[in-house]
Amino acid sequence: MENTGTLEQVLDNVEAGEDTGSPVSMLSRRSVLQLCAGTIAGIASWRLFGPSAGADDPLIITEQAQGLVIADPTRCVACRRCELACTNFNDGKSSPAVSRIKVWRNINYGPTGLFSGDRSHGDWGNGLIVQDFCKQCPHPVPCADACPHEAIVARPETGARAVDQEKCTGCGICSKACPWEMISLDTETKKATKCFLCDGKPKCVEACPAEALVYVPWVDLTGKVPPRVSGTVVKQQACTDCHK
C-alpha cells in the first residue's frame, strides 16, 4: 500500500484540492478537527456523567469535621461558664448572646419554647437544662451552602466550618439556614459567629465544672437531635454522588 504521508500532510493536500487516496481526503481539515473535538468531549462526558461516575471517587464538596462537642443535659447546672469561656476566647468579651454554645435561651422553657405543655424542659418545666451546640453538619452544610459570599469554610486544623470574618457581610442568611439556630450575629462587629471547635481545644469543654460537655470524634447527629425550626430557609440541592 502506498504511503499517503502524515495526517498533517494529507490535510494540506486536501486543502490544495489533491486526492491522496486516503479516506481522510474525503474530509476537510475543519471536519477532521471537529470530529476529534467531538470525540474528546464525548469521552470527557462519559467519565463525568456515565453510569459509573462517582462510584469509586465520590464528590466531596465540604470537608467533614474531625470532632464534635456533645452535651449531657442531666449534668448541666446552668452556670453558663461555657458561654463566657467561648466569647472571652473568641471575641475578647463576655457576651453570651454571640456564644457558639447556647444555654441561656433554654433555661426557662427548654428548646421547644413557652407553649410546649407539660413536657417542656427548663426551670419552668421538668428542670432539665438543654444545651444547644453546633452539630458540625456533614455535606451539604446548610449554613455554608446558604452563604452568598462563601464566607463559611472548613478550618484545616479540625475540618470544622468557621466564619471568614473578611468575607462575612453580616447578611444573616446563614443564621436563618441553620435548623438549630446556632449561628449568631454580633451587633458590634456586624459579623456572624459560629463554632469551629477552637481548633481542637474547645474552651467551653475546658470551662464546664460539671463535665456536662465532652469533645469527641465526629458522629452524625443531624438526624437524631430535633431541630429548633421546622425547616431551613434555603433548600438544599441533592448531590447524589456523595449522599442520598
Q: What is the reported pLDDT for 98?
A: 93
pLDDT tens digits for 55-79? 455 454 667 889 999 999 999 999 9
Among the listed ranges 10-19, 132-141, 199-208, which one has the minimum average pLDDT value? 10-19
Q: Decide which of 112 and 135 is more confident.
A: 135
| Residue whose entry in the numeric block shows the C-alpha cell 451587633 | 187
- Residue 76 near residue 133, CB atoms below 8 Å: no
- For the chain, how many helices (H) and strands (E)? 6, 6
Closest of 244, 232, 240 to residue 141, by C-alpha: 232
> E strands along 44-174, which residues?
67-71, 152-154, 161-163
pLDDT tens digits for 19-28? 555 554 455 5
Q: What is the pTM of this model?
A: 0.68
Q: What is the reported pLDDT for 13?
A: 61
Helices (H), the chain: 7-15, 29-49, 81-91, 142-146, 173-177, 203-207
Q: What is the reported pLDDT for 56?
A: 52
- Residue 193 near residue 100, CB atoms below 8 Å: yes
Confidence band for 37, pLDDT divided at 50, 70 and 90: low
> E strands along the chain, which residues?
67-71, 152-154, 161-163, 184-186, 191-193, 213-217
pLDDT beyond 80 at 91: yes
105: cell is: 435561651
Q: Decide which of 80 and 157 is more confident.
A: 80
- Between CA 66 and CA 73 the distance in angstroms is 23
Q: What is the reported pLDDT for 114?
A: 81
- Residue 227 near residue 113, CB atoms below 8 Å: no
Longest alpha-carbon distance in the chain = 98
Confidence band for 31, pLDDT divided at 50, 70 and 90: low
- Taking residues 96-120, report their average pLDDT: 86
Give the type of residue at 153: V
pLDDT tens digits for 141-198? 999 999 999 999 999 889 999 999 999 999 999 999 999 999 999 999 999 999 999 9
Q: What torsion, rounded to 10 degrees, do the Cα atoms 79, 131, 231, 87 define?
A: 50
- Residue 183 near residue 143, CB atoms below 8 Å: yes
Among the listed ranges 27-36, 153-162, 197-206, which one has the minimum average pLDDT value? 27-36
| Residue whose entry in the numeric block shows the C-alpha cell 486543502 | 15
Confidence band for 244, pLDDT divided at 50, 70 and 90: very low
- Taking residues 75-90, report their average pLDDT: 96
